[in-house]
């Protein structure tokens, strides 16, 4: 983790970032730039020296962050300009997503674009006045060189400072207005928003290549997850077919690692062929949930196989020895993007038998010309191929040959220098993965996945959760935890623990879920307007508190919190939690109605809130075989409007009051205030969950 800059063959002296745990900050620890971490020391230095702050935000597996580090921040001449004129601060966006959110919104609103590295100039009191993303070391293709930018900012600071300060104040006010939501919205009508959103998503569907929109193409799982629910609610098979097609196309494309499992960040083309190769934990977790739901909705087991391969990758390559999950793997290795994953035809021929070569070249579409262009500045590798499924029609004998070839290629690839791995343990992403593993364990009959989910939860409870103060840190790395309180950590872990509880029915997991819910509400709820702040009130280093409502690569904390509280309220019969969730939905009602593409995960919450969920209450020993059998039946039906609970711990009083049979577990299938006769019949549970949802919907809305 403490490797020098990629641009250095001999380590330079370490700057102030050398003491930081973040792998991203460590990548800049040997720059000649006098970097400081975000904090009071840097702010005081800016005030004392009367200099503007240069804030640079990125993450350790970001390709263009690497490029700017090599070209610019390792450059002595650039470092001199920064050190003499500015106070320079480096931030890992994954450790401080609150800072990233504020400054990304600033750059997007002032320049029309965004991305990483995110570079912003601030006044000494931390108000932004100018920003951008990647700047090259010299002007090129209409983009100013970074030294030119520094000269211009220094000139304005020296000669027109009052104008800059006034602009910074005005821009901060503008930023505050962009982050303000009306508390006077009417609660969404429900079916109108859901139906309109589904139609909007289907208009964006690519019927040729799968997915939504054009290149570059991101999986963005919340959108197809909603379409599966849309298809069930409105009896629309086309929407489910669209999701199936999308999942099949992604699984066949280069965006899926065809040898090792797992998915890359996105595809640079519209047919999922050439990926941006970095792998993020949150993508793996969300895509597992998507493929599991697609298997349930379609009845096609091939989607579950993709989920299984993805989780095998995570457990093999992304798991801490004590149980937590690492954050990401880089796109680059040996200084070249995709070098770890790509193959030339000559490499394939040298690795395999003649019979294996014939099948492998045809199956993966490998050619001498290649399908991936190496953009390296020095010595680009010609003829590289990203593996993707081009011809899947295999005889039995060919399938045997291909399996042998894959095993050989995987072994050879594992001897290559691996991409850098960001070994931070992020609580929010670990919460997502805990939920994915839990559901996969029962749907794919893989007890190993359930055990991994439990180990990860124990890791977080040991290293990231303070039981005395009921606080949860968002980041742990190298024995140190970052103290920032971040809504997404609480919300995603809460969602994951609920998933794990519904798979195991362990009362302790439900008790922890209620603790998390109470701590989340106490720290982040806006009791006046509704919804949740992204940061706790005790965050003095922020100029603004934000409420996130955009479900992008990751669902927003508000969306996840609303859905998790709705589920937990149904399990525990807590109407107060339901009301808090509904107030969050109401706060973003205009967004739901006017621009549903921005909030697909919040649509999942609205869909769940539309009706009283069915309840399957299993009364008996959670560890016995009959309970496991009934759990598999309950989980094996695509019914988004249901909860599964036991009769122990902080469950609803009605569940605790159900009579216990000492010999075997009984399933009570309940809707509203009525329960059917208890049963041991798995098919009866399936029939109950497969039946159309009751006509009666929840009251919906708050006064």
Q: What is the pLDDT of residue 180?
A: 76
pLDDT value of residue 10: 59
**pLDDT attached to residue 141:** 79
Query: Which helix (H) or strand (E) is 422 found in, with range?
Result: strand 421-422
Distance CA 89, CA 53 (A): 7
> Residue 581's pLDDT is what?
98
List % helix, strand, coil for the chain (3-state, nearest 5).
Answer: 50, 10, 40
Could you identify the residue written with the tokens 């000139």?
155
* pLDDT of the residue at 414: 97
Secondary element (H or E) of residue 266: strand 266-267
End-to-end CA distance of the chain: 53
Strand partners, 140: 143
Domain 16-178 falls under CATH 3.40.30.10: yes
Integer-rounded Cα Rg, in Å, for the chain is: 26
Q: Report the DSSP beta bridge partners of residue 679.
A: 667
Please state which CATH class domain 612-703 belongs to.
alpha beta
The ranges of the chain with pLDDT < 70 are 1-11, 376-377, 694-703
Confidence at residue 178, expressed as pLDDT on a 0 to 100 scale: 79
Tokens at residue 44, please?
Answer: 């005081």
Question: From CA 506, how far away is CA 621, in angstroms rounded?
Answer: 10
- In DSSP notation, 297-321 reads HH--THHHHHHHHHHHHHHHHSB-T
Using a CB cutoff of 8 Å and minimum separation of 24, what contacts does 217-221 make? 217/266, 217/267, 217/269, 217/270, 217/272, 218/265, 218/266, 218/553, 219/250, 219/255, 219/263, 219/266, 219/283, 219/286, 219/287, 219/290, 220/552, 220/553, 220/600, 221/286, 221/287, 221/289, 221/290
For 637, the 3-state DSSP assignment is: coil
What pTM does this model have?
A: 0.93
Distance, CA of 484 to CA of 96 (rounded, Å) = 7
Domain ranges of the chain: 16-178, 204-422, 612-703
Question: What's the CA angle centered on 332, arms 277 and 427, to 5 degrees?
Answer: 65
Spatial separation of the C-alpha atoms in residues 512 and 87, rounded to whole Å:
43
Name the percent of the chain lying above pLDDT 90: 84
């Amino acid at each position: 983790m403490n490797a020098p800059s990629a641009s250095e063959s001999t380590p330079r002296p370490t700057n102030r970032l050398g003491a930081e745990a973040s792998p991203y900050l460590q990548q800049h620890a040997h720059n000649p730039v006098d970097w400081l971490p975000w904090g009071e020391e840097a702010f005081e230095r800016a005030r004392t020296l009367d200099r503007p702050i240069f804030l640079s935000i990125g993450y350790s597996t970001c390709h263009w962050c690497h490029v700017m580090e090599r070209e610019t921040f390792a450059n002595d001449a650039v470092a001199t300009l920064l050190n003499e004129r500015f106070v320079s601060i480096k931030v890992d966006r994954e450790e401080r997503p609150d800072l990233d959110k504020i400054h990304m919104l600033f750059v997007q609103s002032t320049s029309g674009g965004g991305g990483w590295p995110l570079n912003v100039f601030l006044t000494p009191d931390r108000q932004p006045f100018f920003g951008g993303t990647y700047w090259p070391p010299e002007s090129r293709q209409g983009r100013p060189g970074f030294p030119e930018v520094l000269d211009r900012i220094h000139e304005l600071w020296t000669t027109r400072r009052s104008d800059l300060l006034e602009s910074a104040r005005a821009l901060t006010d503008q930023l505050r207005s962009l982050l303000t939501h009306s508390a006077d919205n009417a609660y969404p009508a429900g079916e109108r928003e859901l139906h309109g959103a589904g139609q909007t998503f289907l208009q964006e569907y690519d019927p040729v290549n799968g997915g939504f929109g054009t290149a570059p193409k991101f999986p963005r799982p919340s959108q197809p997850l909603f379409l599966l629910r849309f298809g069930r609610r409105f009896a629309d098979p086309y929407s489910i077919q669209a999701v199936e097609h999308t999942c099949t196309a992604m699984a066949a494309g280069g965006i899926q690692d065809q040898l090792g499992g797992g998915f890359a960040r996105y595809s640079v083309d519209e047919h999922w062929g050439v990926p941006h190769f970095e792998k993020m934990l949150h993508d793996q977790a969300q895509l597992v949930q998507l493929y599991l739901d697609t298997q349930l909705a379609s009845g096609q087991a091939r989607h579950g196989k993709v989920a299984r391969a993805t989780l095998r990758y995570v457990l093999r390559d992304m798991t801490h020895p004590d149980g937590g999950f690492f954050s990401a793997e880089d796109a680059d290795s040996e200084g070249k993007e995709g070098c770890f994953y790509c193959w030339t035809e000559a490499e394939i021929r040298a690795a395999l038998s003649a019979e294996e070569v014939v099948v492998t070249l045809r199956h993966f579409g490998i050619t001498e010309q290649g399908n991936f262009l190496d953009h390296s500045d020095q010595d680009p590798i010609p003829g590289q191929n990203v593996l993707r499924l081009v011809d899947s029609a295999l005889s039995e004998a060919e399938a045997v040959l291909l399996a042998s070839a894959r095993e050989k290629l995987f072994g050879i690839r594992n001897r290559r220098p691996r991409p850098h791995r960001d070994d931070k343990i992020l609580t929010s992403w670990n919460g997502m993965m805990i939920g994915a593993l839990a559901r996969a364990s029962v749907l794919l009959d893989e007890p190993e996945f359930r055990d991994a989910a439990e180990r990860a939860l124990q890791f977080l409870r040991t290293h990231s959760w303070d039981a005395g103060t009921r606080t949860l840190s968002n980041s742990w790395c190298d024995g140190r935890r970052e103290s920032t309180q971040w809504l997404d950590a609480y919300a995603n872990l809460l969602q994951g623990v609920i998933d794990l509880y519904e798979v195991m029915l362990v009362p302790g997991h439900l008790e922890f879920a209620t603790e998390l819910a109470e701590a989340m509400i106490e720290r982040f709820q806006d009791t006046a307007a509704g919804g949740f702040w992204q940061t706790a009130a005790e965050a003095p280093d922020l100029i603004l508190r934000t409420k996130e409502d955009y479900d992008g690569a990751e669902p927003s904390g508000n969306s996840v919190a609303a859905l998790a509280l709705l589920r937990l309220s149904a399990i525990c019969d807590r109407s107060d939690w339901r009301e808090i969730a509904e107030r969050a939905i109401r706060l973003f009602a205009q967004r739901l109605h006017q621009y549903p593409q921005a909030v697909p995960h919040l649509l999942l919450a609205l869909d769940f809130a539309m009706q009283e969920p069915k309840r399957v209450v299993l009364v008996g020993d959670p560890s016995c075989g009959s309970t496991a059998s009934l759990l598999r039946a309950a989980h094996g039906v695509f019914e988004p409007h249901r909860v599964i609970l036991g009769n122990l711990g902080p469950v609803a009083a009605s569940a605790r009051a159900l009579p216990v049979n000492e010999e075997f577990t009984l399933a009570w299938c309940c809707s509203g205030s009525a329960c059917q006769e208890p049963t041991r019949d798995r098919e009866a549970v399936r029939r109950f969950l497969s039946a159309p949802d009751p006509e009666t919907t929840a009251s919906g809305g708050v006064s």
